[in-house]
Structure 1
Amino acid sequence: MTAMTLPPARYSFGGDEHLFVEISEEMSLPAFFKSMAICNALRQRALPGVSEICPANAAYLLRFDPDLMAPRELLATLQQIEAGLGAADLHLRTRIVEIPVFYGDPWTHETLMRFRERHQDPNSTDIEYAARINHLASVEAFIDAHSSAPWFVSMVGFVAGLPFLYQMVERQRQLQVPKYLRPRTDTPRLTLGHGGCFGCIYSVRGAGGYQMLGVTPAPIFDPAQSLSYFKDLMVFFQPGDIVKFKPIDAAEYARQVQQVESRDYQLRIRPVAFSLPDFMADPDGYNQQLLKVLHGD
């Protein structure tokens, strides 16, 4: 199935100012690409009255002023855009980013131990549980499966700057981990989480229900825009970004935290052209090409 062969989208008005469009009942890269293509086309048209365009995992939400854009006119425009999608909409100019991760760190470990009564398995850590239910032999094998293939940022939200990430492998190989039985009231800032088929990075400290796998030293939300990669926006990630996780140890984590504090921290970021048909034809081979772009090979 491709973005062009998905069933027609479902359109639902929410009050007077919102229109919710469901591309698919389940997340997939074709559904994501279709949503992105429609949102991009809508931005290019700059319709009067459309003030917000918010893409999500397999849907998108619009906010509009009904005094400037009649609801039925907006609906007809979106249906026209959807019907006109073609092969060119299966390609995306984006960027690939390397995010370092200290898996099994002491801060998320201390936090998860405080909330074991809310977990499916109080006798193991989150990452041990994740490895076991994915039928992997060890935590190390889970880390390898988690960090070896890139991830798409499918949406940004819940709290400011938090990215939802979708693993770029065949569906049968995607890591699946249920959320906590009851959400925690605390999650360390910059925790790498996983719930269902989605990964995330908690941009700020707060409540959360995803399994905690580790932490990254890389800020992803900076209202002060103090680091160079925040020069344009205080929120780093955008839908369509591609992320490659890189395991690091405690010493490297401490070194990078010091760089953040001294304001000379840099992320490895490279522009890349992504083709959904080429990826679907050979996911592993295409991912290797993406990693060559990331590392300048």
Structure 2
Amino acid sequence: MKTRYSFGGDEHVYVEVDDEMSLDAFFISLSLSKLVREAEIPGVREICPANASFEVRFDPDVISPDAMMERIKGLEAEAQAAEKRLDTRIIEIPVYYEDPWTHETLMRFRERHQDPSGSDLDYAARINGYDSVADFIEAHHSQPWFVSMVGFVSGLPFLYQLVDRDKQLEVPKYLRPRTDTPKLTVGYGGCFSCIYSVRGAGGYQMFGITPMPIFDPEQKITYLRDFMVFFKPGDIVKWKPIDRAEYDRITKTVEDGTYTPKIAEVAFDLDAFNADMSGFNAKLMEALDDA
């Protein structure tokens, strides 16, 4: 794993720990960006984290680009040696798979899809070797997911499945992006799942929809009054399949201000996870059951 440093004009340094997502790369990137923040380097204006990388925006009138890059490079050894452990939370996210709204949308855009003859879930199940859509949905929700970054669209989480790499689900994005995606669609592209925080264009495969808002710029939703964005990097998600009746019930409680997401405080230890993935995941999900 060799970190790559590059300039983005005169005001940005881009730091890429690896060219593909892995939990090792995520933790090194997280540690290094934290060290840059704690170093209080004169001229730093903003630090923007991503899946296995981050970008530093700075004032070139205060510090030169070369000097900024050298300051960041000087912190890398400490980041590489940092403990790969994170105090975080696991969150249950209800999902109405095969809902009517994403289905109507995906059928409107079949000409942009790899397989116009079926649905996104039909295609995802087939190319991942599952006998049925139900089996694929089971694989999608049976193990937890790690939020590796939040952004691209305000509040949108990118989620990385906590399983062996050879067991990860993989589904390509649409051949051409859609001009419409329902708000709170649970999507999939490459090895990442996501939740579309707002309605808009998109290219990820659509599997279902959640009734739980994750972004509220007006901060009227009870659990988003302190901060308009629900997710943060390091959060862990457990999808919970629900039916239409449960979707409608949760939607009503969100509207009347009585809905509270199910959350448990947990510690994620990368070494312990790598030593026993299924056992570690089971303990994570037990914590949620006890919440």
Q: % of aligned pairs identical? A: 61
Q: Equivalent residue for 2:179?
A: 185
* C-alpha deviation, 1:10, in angstroms: 0.8
* C-alpha deviation, 1:25, in angstroms: 1.3
Q: Following superposition of structure 1 onto structure 2, how do residues 100-139 of structure 1 map, counting pairs within 5 Å?
A: 100-139=94-133
**Which consecutive unaligned segments of at least 5 residues does structure 2 have?**
none
Tell me which of 196, 207, 215 is aligned to 2:201: 207
Distance in 2 separating the partners of 1:102 and 1:131: 17
Contact 2:141 2:241 in 1 (8 A): yes
Q: Equivalent residue for 2:146?
A: 152
2:92 is equivalent to residue 98 of structure 1: yes
Contact 2:35 2:79 in 1 (8 A): no
* C-alpha deviation, 1:195, in angstroms: 0.6
Q: Equivalent residue for 1:171?
A: 165
Alpha-carbon displacement from aligned partner over 1:140-188 (angstroms, at most 9, x marks no partner): 1111100011111111112111111111100010000011111000000
Distance in 2 separating the partners of 1:229 and 1:42: 31
Give the 3-state SS of the residue equivalent to 1:164 in structure 2: strand
Q: Equivalent residue for 1:48?
A: 42
Distance in 2 separating the partners of 1:186 and 1:86: 41
2:71 is equivalent to residue 66 of structure 1: no
Which segments of structure 1 move beyond 6 Å, counting only runs of 4 or more?
none
Query: Taking structure 1 as the reference length, what is the TM-score of the superposition?
Result: 0.95
Contact 1:18 1:62 in 2 (8 A): yes
Give, as a single letter, the amino acid of the residue that structure 2 aligns with 1:240. Answer: G
**Which consecutive unaligned segments of at least 5 residues does structure 1 have?**
1-5
Q: Equivalent residue for 1:3?
A: none
Which stretch shows the higher mean deviation, 121-130 or 45-54?
A: 45-54
Q: Equivalent residue for 2:191?
A: 197
Distance in 2 separating the partners of 1:69 and 1:279: 40
Q: How many residues align?
A: 291
Which stretch shows the higher mean deviation, 238-247 or 81-90?
A: 81-90
Distance in 2 separating the partners of 1:38 and 1:271: 24
Contact 1:156 1:238 in 2 (8 A): yes
Give the 3-state SS of the residue equivalent to 2:90 in structure 1: strand
Contact 1:185 1:208 in 2 (8 A): yes
Contact 1:227 1:264 in 2 (8 A): no
2:14 is equivalent to residue 20 of structure 1: yes
Give the 3-state SS of the residue equivalent to 2:146 in structure 1: strand
Give, as a single letter, the amino acid of the residue that structure 1 aligns with 2:232. Answer: Q
Give, as a single letter, the amino acid of the residue that structure 1 aligns with 2:126. Answer: R
Give the 3-state SS of the residue equivalent to 1:102 in structure 2: strand
Alpha-carbon displacement from aligned partner over 1:61-97 (angstroms, at most 9, x marks no partner): 1111122233233222211221113554311111111
Give the 3-state SS of the residue equivalent to 1:295 in structure 2: helix
Give the 3-state SS of the residue equivalent to 1:24 in structure 2: coil
Q: Following superposition of structure 1 onto structure 2, how do residues 234-273 of structure 1 map, counting pairs within 5 Å?
A: 234-273=228-267
Distance in 2 separating the partners of 1:107 and 1:100: 16
Query: Taking structure 2 as the reference length, what is the TM-score of the superposition?
Result: 0.97
Give, as a single letter, the amino acid of the residue that structure 1 aligns with 2:78. Answer: G
Q: Equivalent residue for 2:218?
A: 224
Contact 1:227 1:265 in 2 (8 A): no
Q: Equivalent residue for 2:51?
A: 57
Distance in 2 separating the partners of 1:93 and 1:69: 34
